[in-house]
Chains A and B, each alone.
Chain A
Amino acid sequence: MTSTVTSSPRRDDAPLRHPAVARRAIALLLGAGATTVLLAVVGFGVGSHPISPAQVLDALTAYDPTRNEHVIVMASRVPRMLLGILVGAALGMAGALMQSLTRNPLADPGILGVNAGASLLVVVAIAYLGVTSVHGYIWFAFAGAALAAVLVFALGSAHRSGATPVRFALAGTAVAIAIGAVTQMILISNETAFQYFRFWSVGSLQGRGLDVIVAVLPFLVVGLSVALLLARPLDSLALGDAAARSLGTSVGAVRASTALAVVLLAGGATAAAGPIGFIGLAAAHIVRQVVGNSHRWLLPCSIVVGAGLLVSADTLGRALVAPADLQSGIAAALLGSPLFIALVRSRRVASL
């Protein structure tokens, strides 16, 4: 638990090849991975309906569709766990990418207008097109997330001096506020839209079947792959635009690719589970504090820590409120924020 990396002057290439960093990163990967798997399995038995470990085992090995407990495990908890891992991984990665892209340590899927854009098109779909199922929302949420991100990217790089992290952050905030206002206008005048949107907008992993996972999986896989390829260029970019160019990095192309990966990841995650806050923000910070700012370790670790955070929050949340059901977005905020505050207080937050 030493803090040599985070308390030393920020980023240089040395820690990248430092064996201690690699050891810490591998320990983090293994630890977060094991926690995710453990809590995911424990989560099969935890929730609003009590199910014993023996029944869980039965459901997994000798599925009987006439037994409610078996149906709950297979139709509710398994898809919920898989979606939690996927969404958490995507949000963790998206958070890390956004923080690097905007050089803003508070960046998360909210800052590039992704959540706002997704919300707007979901509300439009409910209010004017009569779409009321999760499976119907997905594509609207995706399109909204992408449109907002493209708009933010265009606004952020419109000035002839080119894109800067501050411009992205400002454009994202402005677009998010403007889109949010339109969303509210539609909701206020439409009670039905409000009823359906209310559930989507707090973020939930419940009630999303395997088909939702199948629908967003390709986008998340492409997003994660693109992101992992960006590790080295993002390290150069962290040195500043001029230095990056002198190292042969195409600054514009890297920014555009990063933004694309963010849209695929945050858009896909938001489409599948609604806007879930905190995970994208916290996962990247936790990783930065353990392994530093090198993207070679930051990006893969953010995937695993993001998945671990969301699955842990969701499982603990369900255990706490049974026989009610706590929506994952609320669980992430309730259980994640104290952890995050503790981290911020105990160590120096990585500056970007």
Chain B
Amino acid sequence: MRSRLLTVTALAALAALALGGCSSETDTLSDTEAAAAAAGDSSWPRTVEHGAGETEISAAPLRIVSVSPSITGSLLAIDAPLVGSAATTVSPLSDDKGFFTQWADAADEAGVEVVYGDLELDLDAVDLFEPDLIIGSVNGGDATLEAYDQLSEIAPTVLLDYGTVTWQELTTELGTITGLEEQAAATIAEYDDWVAAQAEKIMLPEQPVTAAVYMGADGVWAFGADSPQARLLTALGFTYEAAAEAFRSEQTGANGVDILSAENAASGLAGSRTLFLVAMGGGDPVSAFVGDPLLVNQPAVAADRVHSLGTESFRLDYFSAKNTTQLIVDTFSE
């Protein structure tokens, strides 16, 4: 919640800046943030509220280390001065260093090095990069909340909650933290224009649609209407349908995921006419899904309208959102 508040605050600050920094618009902002927003890049030091507390950043950072591979893509998207990033375990979702495929090329071009691999936090390795700002996450597989104090001894550390925000909100937040507000806004605006142009190329299949991860005998994780995946599809003109509430299990994940048991998958997705499957384990999840005897009566399965959303759509950032959009355009282009 705190990070969402911060994001909203940051967005309000940007709006205020765009409107000419009218002071009456900034009643809800803290003095520091208002000053930062009003004065732009020159307003250092600035204090950032985040998932692990409050951190003062004394000057515009020049050497950032990301200890969260899930956030690294959004830092690269705003050309943040990133010198190193933690790498995840090597999988179909990553390159052979453990950088997620969607931003691995951008990282290599920017000269970003692997700080440590397999998500095994290595404080000495972080220290060797002599960062002036460390950015990490409070949730997910790459969370480093427990090591917040040690990381803070190395450099000012900001830990963000990327699980409950869209990549656009996260990018805006990172813009505020790094003093790159304008780049963040420009990146998002460029993306929005690009997506609007891509939407023109699509001939929509039968609506509504649902995006999900197929977990085999574990059932189906259907993305909720507020999820980044649903928003991406909505931005492209699709009508999004969440899983029917009556069939959801109690548990719901961080990303607004509704869990359907294997027996409830067909009924829970009965309202959806076209399905998108996130290939979390790599490969093509569609054949396993349509081959599940429990799903034969799901309308999209029965009508052969199940499509792969690719491997990069599970973690959406500027790069993977573009790649996922491109995949959808290729699938449905007129």
Does the CB pair A325–B282 fall under 8 Å? no
Q: Which residues of B contact A130 (CB under 8 A)?
A: 283
Interface stretch, picked from B32-40, B180-188, B222-230, B242-250, is B242-250
Task: Convert B264-281 into 0s and 1s, putting 1 for each residue whose CB lies closer than 8 angstroms to a CB of A.
Answer: 101100100000000011
A68 near B: Cβ within 8 Å?
yes
Q: Which residues of B contact A72 (CB under 8 A)?
A: 263, 294
A52 near B: Cβ within 8 Å?
no
Q: Nearest Cβ distance between residue B7 and chain A, in whole angstroms?
A: 29
Does the CB pair B89–A325 fall under 8 Å? no
The complex places the Cα of A75 from the Cα of B246 at a distance, in Å, of 22
The complex places the Cα of A48 from the Cα of B281 at a distance, in Å, of 25
Q: In residues 77-97 of chain A, which contact B (Cβ within 8 Å)? A: none
Q: Nearest Cβ distance between residue B330 and chain A, in whole angstroms?
A: 24
Residue of chain B at shortest CB distance from A69: B267
The complex places the Cα of A9 from the Cα of B237 at a distance, in Å, of 79
Q: Nearest Cβ distance between residue A52 and chain B, in whole angstroms?
A: 14
B147 near A: Cβ within 8 Å?
no
Residue of chain B at shortest CB distance from A134: B217
Does the CB pair A190–B89 fall under 8 Å? yes
Contact of B264 among A49, A67, A191 (CB under 8 A): A49
Q: Which residues of A contact B152 (CB under 8 A)?
A: none
Q: A192-B91, A207-B216 are in contact. Are A76 and B263 (CB under 8 A)?
A: yes
Could you jot down 8 A-B contacts, CB within 8 Å?
A47-B263, A48-B262, A68-B266, A132-B281, A192-B91, A206-B262, A323-B247, A325-B261
A66 near B: Cβ within 8 Å?
yes
Does the CB pair B294–A324 fall under 8 Å? no
B20 near A: Cβ within 8 Å?
no
Q: A323-B247, A323-B261, A324-B261 are in contact. Are A192 and B219 (CB under 8 A)?
A: no
Q: A134-B217, A204-B217 are in contact. Are A48 and B91 (CB under 8 A)?
A: no
Q: Nearest Cβ distance between residue A274 and chain B, in whole angstroms?
A: 10
Contact of B281 among A49, A68, A192, A207 (CB under 8 A): A192
- Give the A-binding residues of B (Cβ under 8 A): 88-93, 118, 215-219, 246-251, 259, 261-264, 266-267, 270, 280-283, 288, 293-294, 296-297
Q: A72-B263, A195-B281, A199-B218 are in contact. Are A324 and B251 (CB under 8 A)?
A: yes
Does the CB pair B88–A191 fall under 8 Å? yes
Residue of chain A at shortest CB distance from B117: A189
Q: A191-B88, A192-B91, A192-B92 are in contact. Are A76 and B262 (CB under 8 A)?
A: yes
The complex places the Cα of A209 from the Cα of B216 at a distance, in Å, of 12
The complex places the Cα of A226 from the Cα of B259 at a distance, in Å, of 44
Does the CB pair A66–B297 fall under 8 Å? yes
The complex places the Cα of A48 from the Cα of B217 at a distance, in Å, of 13
Q: Nearest Cβ distance between residue B72 and chain A, in whole angstroms?
A: 17
Does the CB pair B294–A191 fall under 8 Å? no
The complex places the Cα of A48 from the Cα of B283 at a distance, in Å, of 29
Does the CB pair B251–A199 fall under 8 Å? no
The complex places the Cα of A31 from the Cα of B155 at a distance, in Å, of 69
Does the CB pair B250–A199 fall under 8 Å? no
Contact of B297 among A67, A133, A323 (CB under 8 A): A67
The complex places the Cα of A68 from the Cα of B217 at a distance, in Å, of 16
Does the CB pair A49–B89 fall under 8 Å? no
Does the CB pair B250–A324 fall under 8 Å? yes
Q: Which 3 A-B pairs have the closest CB atoms?
A: A207-B217, A48-B261, A324-B249
Q: Which of A65, A208, A325 has the most CB of B within 10 A?
A: A325
Q: Which residues of A contact B259 (CB under 8 A)?
A: 324
Q: Nearest Cβ distance between residue A214 and chain B, in whole angstroms?
A: 15
Residue of chain B at shortest CB distance from A65: B296
Contact of A195 among B280, B293, B297 (CB under 8 A): B280
Q: Nearest Cβ distance between residue B227 and chain A, in whole angstroms?
A: 19
Contact of B217 among A67, A189, A206, A323 (CB under 8 A): A206
A242 near B: Cβ within 8 Å?
no
The complex places the Cα of A48 from the Cα of B262 at a distance, in Å, of 8
A196 near B: Cβ within 8 Å?
yes
Q: Which residues of A contact B296 (CB under 8 A)?
A: 65, 71
Q: In residues 119-171 of chain A, which contact B (Cβ within 8 Å)? A: 130, 132-134
Does the CB pair A323–B248 fall under 8 Å? yes
Q: Nearest Cβ distance between residue A317 and chain B, in whole angstroms?
A: 12
Known: A71-B297, A133-B288, A199-B216. 5 other contacts (CB 8 A): A68-B267, A76-B263, A132-B283, A189-B90, A206-B217
Contact of B89 among A65, A68, A189, A207 (CB under 8 A): A189
